[in-house]
Structure 1
Amino acid sequence: MAGHSLPPLKALRVFEAAARLRSFTAAADELSITHSAVSQQIRILEDYVGQPLFAREARGVALLPCAQAYFPEVQASLERIAAATAKLRAPGFAGTLRVCATPSLTMKWLIPRLSGFQALHPGIDVQLTTQGRSFLDRGGDAGSDVLLRHGYMAHAELSCVHCLDDFHVPVASPRFIERNRLAAPADCLGHPLLKVAGGMDYWPRWFALAKVDVPAQLPGPVFDHHFLCMQAAMNDLGIALAPWCLLQDDMAADRLRPLFAQPQLPNAGIHALYRPDGPAAAAAQRFIDWLCGQGTEPSRGA
């Protein structure tokens, strides 16, 4: 490489993430740096090549024509460097595993259990990031080795594994239960029903299983994430319909209690998406094997 001038490699990595995600903010989240640091690295690269690379749009950024051919070359080069480095690593070296999950699954289920995986595989450094459900619905890679969420993720080049079964149950705080009459599913209709954006059909489906007729509009606020909905229930704001796997710690601490043993609303369960032939495939497989051994159901009854 003598005589060849290379652009700043850090700036190239930031450029690749921003171009792939079409967002400086998303690139900052993926790379665990600030938005201003992303902007600074892009400016460094633009100064190096002598022209702007991105156009600002209402919902992010777009590559300018001059950069559209540059992006796949940079992306392919970085992937080759990563693959070559993975082959060079000493046998048995596991390295870093980048895991991306929804915020609720990360906060309420994965983090409380992650020490168990690290005890089994101390050589694997798990780095966690979060993305919203809509992004993971599309099977986006988010620069991660494993994507984790409730529900199947379709991707032509990646494998999706069903790791755990799960179901939704109605829960409320002990104070809320003590203050209100909740003897049967129909009694829930007289109270705020806490909902999650993207899951507006959960309550109607649960009431249908309970054979309770409901109005077209159910009372209660809507939250962006399950963990916010559950926190609202802990603070006596109403009744949440939450995945059983997310409830374990809060039920053990008696912050939330299930209202009824039945019905239980089935959901798609926890799935993991990964690249079986990627440089982190071995570490990803160990992580997924561990996931499949984690139970979400200490008891099916409430």
Structure 2
Amino acid sequence: MGTTRFYPSIASLRALEAFERLGSVTKAADELALTQSAVSRQLQTLENHVSVSMFVRDGKRIALTPAALNYARDIRTALMTIQNASIRLKANPRGGSFNLAILPSFSVRWLAPKLPDFVARHPEVTLNLGTNLEPFDFDTEPYHAAIHFGAPDWPDANHMELMTETVIPVAAPALLKRNPTTSVADIMEQPLLHMNSRPNAWEAWFQMNGTVPTLLTGPLFDQFATMTQAAVHGLGFALLPEYIIERELEKGLLEKAVDVPPVSLGKYYLVWPKTMSEYQPTITFKNWLSRYAASGPITSA
């Protein structure tokens, strides 16, 4: 890469990290099972390597400069990354880790029931799940792939369609009894619940049903699960994915607010950066998930 001069030895970096954390060469030497002179030599070697004055010396006392202090803390993070990678390798020498960003409601209702099959078929892959409600950036976030809702418009990424989401307007039976709705226009007069990740969902739904919406206000929610419970308890009318509220509809906790066909406001996708296309755990996961995907063969964005 032409930048090897910026790669000090691990031994000298460990000496720096221990010295900064413990505050003395003696304590660093004890922890690293080295002599004090060996630790001092590692620190001197590091200072020579980076060609920057790192230490303030006052007689026998030695301390880090402010810049070196920040450097030592950055090095600690890097060493922890190396340590954790080594631990994962030791724990799973046959495979690798696969970090997947998920959407809570979709993952609980659609993905989670399928995951035991993946774990049983591919014990060589360590699957790590992280919730991400905001638009993701593979360049800055530690994910190999992500479950995403919307349209396939990600640069430098591949995608696989998983499912089309259809939504319907619902409300608690008691609320519908107090506020009967017989048309799409009637719903505009009701208290409406909104998802902050889909601020224009109600507006799009009204337009798709031939109605020009007026000002649509109401409380915001960050997850479908909490919005569903709010609707069940009569807080307002909610526009919810059918797959999420199957049980609530079956139990009569929610009812359809108006008799119109479900509409789709988007689809769910598995998305992965092109740089991860040859990473074996990515290949393994997307090939396994393709058996459940609506799109069939994997496509490129």
Q: TM-score, normalised by structure 2?
A: 0.62
Equivalent in the alignment of 2:219: 221
**Structure 1 pair 75–233 and aligned structure 2 pair: CA distance change class (3 A):** same
Mapped partners of 1:239, 1:45: distance in 2: 58
Equivalent in the alignment of 2:172: 173
Offset from partner CA, 1:184-242 (integer Å, 9 cap, x none): 21221221110111322111111112222332x21321122222222211111111112
- Report 1:156-171 matches (<5 A): 156=156, 158-171=157-170
Equivalent in the alignment of 2:239: 241
Aligned residue-pair number: 243
Mapped partners of 2:223, 2:65: distance in 1: 37
Give the residue type in structure 1 aligned to 2:266: A
Give the residue type in structure 1 aligned to 2:193: L
Equivalent position SS for 1:207: helix
Q: 1:258 aligned to 2:259?
A: no
* Matched-pair contact (CA < 8 Å) for 1:106–1:130: no
Equivalent in the alignment of 1:100: 101
* Matched-pair contact (CA < 8 Å) for 1:101–1:131: yes
**Structure 1 pair 268–159 and aligned structure 2 pair: CA distance change class (3 A):** same
**Structure 1 pair 234–111 and aligned structure 2 pair: CA distance change class (3 A):** farther
- Rg: which structure is higher? 2
* Matched-pair contact (CA < 8 Å) for 1:7–1:45: no
Equivalent position SS for 2:225: helix
**Structure 1 pair 221–140 and aligned structure 2 pair: CA distance change class (3 A):** farther
Mapped partners of 1:203, 1:249: distance in 2: 23
Give the residue type in structure 2 aligned to 1:201: N
Give the residue type in structure 2 aligned to 1:283: T
Give the residue type in structure 2 aligned to 1:207: F
Q: CA deviation at 1:81?
A: 6.9
Q: CA deviation at 1:52?
A: 9.1
Equivalent in the alignment of 2:37: none
Give the residue type in structure 1 aligned to 2:110: W
Q: 1:5 aligned to 2:26?
A: no
Give the residue type in structure 1 aligned to 2:102: A
Q: Note the aligned Cα RMSD (angstroms).
A: 4.4
Equivalent position SS for 2:206: helix
Equivalent in the alignment of 1:189: 188
* Matched-pair contact (CA < 8 Å) for 1:169–1:264: yes
Mapped partners of 1:111, 1:258: distance in 2: 27
Any gaps of 5 or more consecutive residues in structure 1? 13-40, 55-62, 295-302
Equivalent in the alignment of 1:273: 271
Mapped partners of 2:116, 2:279: distance in 1: 25
**Structure 1 pair 79–127 and aligned structure 2 pair: CA distance change class (3 A):** closer
Any gaps of 5 or more consecutive residues in structure 2? 1-8, 29-42, 44-62, 296-301
**Structure 1 pair 76–220 and aligned structure 2 pair: CA distance change class (3 A):** closer
* Matched-pair contact (CA < 8 Å) for 1:145–1:284: no
- Report 1:46-195 matches (<5 A): 66=71, 89-90=93-94, 96-115=97-116, 117-118=118-119, 121=122, 124-134=125-135, 136=136, 138-139=137-138, 142-151=141-150, 152=152, 154-156=154-156, 158-195=157-194
Q: CA deviation at 1:291?
A: 4.1
**Structure 1 pair 89–179 and aligned structure 2 pair: CA distance change class (3 A):** same
Mapped partners of 2:66, 2:290: distance in 1: 42
Mapped partners of 1:52, 1:176: distance in 2: 66
* Matched-pair contact (CA < 8 Å) for 1:230–1:240: yes
Offset from partner CA, 1:223-279 (integer Å, 9 cap, x none): 222222222111111111123333334334443333345343322200112222124
Q: CA deviation at 1:5?
A: 1.8
Equivalent position SS for 1:271: strand
